[in-house]
Amino acid sequence: MADRVVEEYKRVKGFRDLVESTISALGAAGTPHALVRAIDGILPQWEQADKEFASVLKEVKGQAFSMELPHLRAVTQKLREHLEVNLSRIEKGLGKM
């Protein structure tokens, strides 16, 4: 039983770390080129963790150079807000373990 709890904790903590690094990477991406690089850096982990969110990132990456900067910032901000809500839930779950 304890081994399962430890494994689950490691899995959830790893996902939390991915969410945190994604929030940071998206926040630092101020240009289309920087956004594409940021997504390229995190996409393999997301493809393993959550294929649906990985698809969203791929779509944003594909449209990055066609977006005006204000739109690009709005999109990345919405993604970050979505992840921050999930991060809060993850941290509450970790606190219960």
Q: Would you say residue 3 lies in a domain?
A: no
Q: Would you say residue 14 lies in a domain?
A: no
Instruction: Kindly calculate the radius of gyration of the chain based on its CA atoms and give it in whole angstroms.
Output: 15
Between 49 and 1, the higher pLDDT residue: 49
Q: Would you say residue 8 lies in a domain?
A: no
Q: Would you say residue 49 lies in a domain?
A: yes
Q: How many domains does the chain have?
A: 1
| pTM recorded for the entire structure | 0.86
pLDDT confidence bin for 1, thresholds 50/70/90: low
Tokens of residue 7, six digits: 């494994």
* One-letter amino acid for residue 46 of the chain: W
pLDDT confidence bin for 95, thresholds 50/70/90: confident
Q: Containing domain of residue 78, as a range?
A: 26-95
Q: Would you say residue 77 lies in a domain?
A: yes
Nearest to 56 by CA among 65, 46, 45, 70: 46
pLDDT confidence bin for 97, thresholds 50/70/90: low
Q: Would you say residue 21 lies in a domain?
A: no
pLDDT tens, position by position, 23-82? 999 999 999 999 999 999 999 999 999 999 999 999 999 999 999 999 999 999 999 999
